[in-house]
Structure 1
Amino acid sequence: MEVKKYRLTDVCDFQGGSQPPKSEWTKTLKDGYVRMLQIRDFTQPNKENIEYVRITNRIKTCKSEDILIGRYGASVGKILTGLAGAYNVAIMKTIPDQKKLLKPYLRHLLVSPSFQNYILNVGGRAAQAGFSKSDLSRFDVFLPSLENQKRIAQVLTDCEELIAKRKESIALLDELLKSTFLDMFWKKNLDYQNWERDTIEGYALKRKASMRSGPFGSSLLHEEFSESGDVKVLGIDNVVNNFYEEGKPRYITFKKYEELKRYTVHPGDVLISIMATNGRSAVVPQNIPLAINSKHLAAITLNQKKILPFYLKYSFQYHPLILKQLSKRVKGAIMSGLNLTIIKELKLPQPPLSLQEKFSSVVLKIIETNKLYHNNLLELEYLYGRLSQDVFKGELDLSKVALREEFKK
């Protein structure tokens, strides 16, 4: 498949947005006004934050099919499309020469790792100062014929749709688990009001350090970790998807473990992240090797004659009573400020063990399916990344792919 090399700005122009004075803004649509597009309009489409600006020769406008790029801050390099109106200075519009570069191909190029990595690293300053047309002129692109651009866009779009479907399947599993939990342990269960309540600390096993966060400060230094060793160290990556995963290889010596024995993690412990991605949780599997938890996790060893690990773990995610208490004690969806003291003081009903056991059996089946879906998703994302990397380097020939009608236009 023949390709030609160009500088990006030789085949695509880029137009920055405008920032009209606040006196020309309004929250209601009037004659002579147009919607003003900001990053949040694309990233938070369900929020009521639509604003309009007066139409003047100073504003820059786009159509819904135009491809835009986030220019500053946390949204630098974010690819935006689907809305029409004026756009502000935090956004840049692409204007491809469609005799050489088709919009569907351009969109896939802009979301590819090669372009995204370039934008994030350009000059070491992109996140703060944004990027300019001059920066984009140093990015090389390899363009096949227009027909082959259509084929590439079709293959990559198919990959994106497979990834989206797998993510939807994972979300549906989560909804199934949530609805099952609420049916069994919330007000739909007529016995709910009769269950005794206790604090999570009250449900912990009555022994020293049954609730603990990992070693802080000089007790365990990063340089003491190795990729292999005697004792595994569990961190956020082991619970980030709300089920136990192997995570990164992180070990300490048995000698170091002797100093940190009180942080030993046991099969059936409930782990809850208390730094960064706060509130993620998992139940430690039965086949866990010798391990401790890091400072990023709280570990709870339960009295399983009272409550079972999966009931507590999913109470932390779904139980309205727990979520209401947390909303008063921590900040926002990331649960900023969550700590072991707060977790200890949370109150939770105690359902019959037989009901908890029934729920646990459902959980185990769903977790296995969830892991399978997550592994499948990782494979799909790897395939998509590899395909886009090879395609945009001009190293993959897709000229024999049959074009479907919707991609022939």
Structure 2
Amino acid sequence: MSLRTARLDDICEINPGMPKSLDDSEIGSFLSMAAVSEGGRINFEEERPVAAVKKGYTYFERGDVLLAKITPCFENGKATRTAALGRPFGFGSTEFHVLRAANEVLPDYLFYRIWNSSFREFAAKNMTGSAGQKRVPVDFLRRLEIPLPPLGEQRRIAAILDKADALRRKRKRTIELLDSLTQSIFRRSFVERHSSKWPVHSVESVALDARTGPFGSQLLRSEFVDQGISVLGIDNVVTNEFRWGERRYISEEKYAQLHRYTVSPGDVLITIMGTCGRCAIVPDDIPIAINTKHLCCITLDKEKCLPEFLQATFLQHPDVLQQLGVQAKGAVMPGLNMRIIKSLTISLPPINLQMTFVKEILSLKAMLMSSRIAETTTASLFSSLQSRGFSNQL
């Protein structure tokens, strides 16, 4: 049996507007775009009087569905349900479309119908405006046809997706907690319990070698080939973990000229161009590879300093961040070069304390990897359930 469809403007009001009867002194909820996460959750709710927000903001009522209409918020999936807000009405960013479900459609079902990748891909093709300021036009939403099963089936589909989404959120939260725990272990071990007896060394003094990649005519983009010796760049380091991004290769003949730029397992890579200050460790299973001029590669004397300790120190230690001119970990550094990196001074704890730290974080990283695999699986399941739910297969 074919599934009934309906135009969106036949089953809900779109951007219905504020009633004239609303008094200026009444208090409503207020949602900025930042208050809504890309996962559809409301992170925080403010309250403001009508007089302060009735002009220049979008009116909605509790139970409405909000959909971001502007790039990049729309592509990132910013949409939310307002049923749990503390006030019966509210105001939000003018970059929200407001969808108010009528009797034939449940708000939860409507939310999931517009909060999925297939809808976003289709809507993105119908956006209007300039390249940097494209928006989902209201006329597109009005004409949009969506599957519309009976209310009982809508309720069942939304309940299944709620459970799958809750599991997806838990997986994501587990990863966030593990990341936070890694940072806490470093702070507990080497910042809060810092010993004045630990010697202070420059990065250069604990390194066997520090170098950047080939400059200028030593390596041209036109010399990259389809397969051969790997060439590492910013994309391999930008997440502060080594990851394969864009694959670049040079021939073995070219490598013979550039072999002095070879990276080795355990080397510490730091970005010095583009997004400066990202840091990753070369993994043990790295194939033969060199780094580009965008990276500083440090080979450590591991009897003095372990790669995991240096990476954590570089990214998290407040003394090092202060030397680098940033106020907090994770900030983009204003400028960085090999001279600055080599001259950084670090408080160096005994190697046995470093080894204990490494053992702890390697255990956490194993858990983190398992959690990320589980998150990927859960996200795929959620996406599959969404697709099946809206094609009468759930």
Aligning the two structures, in what range does the TM-score lie when normalised by the shorter sequence?
A: 0.7 to 0.9
Equivalent residue number for residue 401 of structure 1 = none
Equivalent residue number for residue 155 of structure 1 = 160
CA distance in 2, matches of 1:282, 1:4: 52
Residue identity matched to 1:340: N
- The counterpart of 2:34, out of the listed 25, 40, 59, is 40
What 5-or-longer segments of structure 1 have no aligned partner?
19-29, 399-409
SS of the equivalent of 1:105 reads: helix
Kindly report which structure 2 residues correspond to 1:9-408, keeping only aligned pairs within 5 A, or say none. 9-15=9-15, 31-32=25-26, 34=28, 36-42=30-36, 52-54=49-51, 61-76=59-74, 78-82=78-82, 83=85, 84-99=89-104, 101-123=105-127, 125=129, 128-189=133-194, 192-205=195-208, 207=209, 210-212=210-212, 219-221=219-221, 224=224, 226=226, 229-274=227-272, 278-326=276-324, 328-329=325-326, 333-341=330-338, 342-392=340-390, 394=391, 396-398=392-394
Equivalent residue number for residue 21 of structure 2 = none
Task: Quickly say closer, same or farther: Cα 1:55–1:248, change in 2 above 3 A.
Answer: closer
SS of the equivalent of 1:128 reads: coil
* Structure 1 contact 61–86 (Cα < 8 Å) conserved: yes
Q: CA RMSD in A?
A: 3.4
CA distance in 1, matches of 2:217, 2:147: 50
Task: Quickly say closer, same or farther: Cα 1:359–1:141, change in 2 above 3 A.
Answer: same
CA distance in 2, matches of 1:51, 1:200: 52
SS of the equivalent of 1:94 reads: strand
CA distance in 1, matches of 2:186, 2:328: 25
Residue identity matched to 1:91: F
After superposition, what is the alpha-carbon deviation per residue over 1:318-347, rounded to whole angstroms, capped at 9, x for unaligned?
Answer: 222223333x25899441434234433332
Task: Quickly say closer, same or farther: Cα 1:264–1:31, change in 2 above 3 A.
Answer: same
Shift of residue 48 of structure 1? 11
CA distance in 1, matches of 2:355, 2:51: 63
Residue identity matched to 2:336: N
CA distance in 2, matches of 1:375, 1:273: 27
Task: Quickly say closer, same or farther: Cα 1:37–1:172, change in 2 above 3 A.
Answer: closer
Task: Quickly say closer, same or farther: Cα 1:368–1:41, change in 2 above 3 A.
Answer: closer
Aligned: 1:5 with 2:10:
no
Aligned length: 376
CA distance in 2, matches of 1:112, 1:103: 15
Equivalent residue number for residue 26 of structure 1 = none
CA distance in 2, matches of 1:75, 1:145: 31
In the superposition, the TM-score normalised over structure 1's length comes to 0.79
Stretches (4+) displaced over 6 A: 44-50, 55-59
Shift of residue 383 of structure 1? 2.0
SS of the equivalent of 1:382 reads: helix
In the superposition, the TM-score normalised over structure 2's length comes to 0.82
Shift of residue 266 of structure 1? 0.8
* Structure 1 contact 331–337 (Cα < 8 Å) conserved: no
Quick check: 366-375 or 288-297, which moved more?
288-297
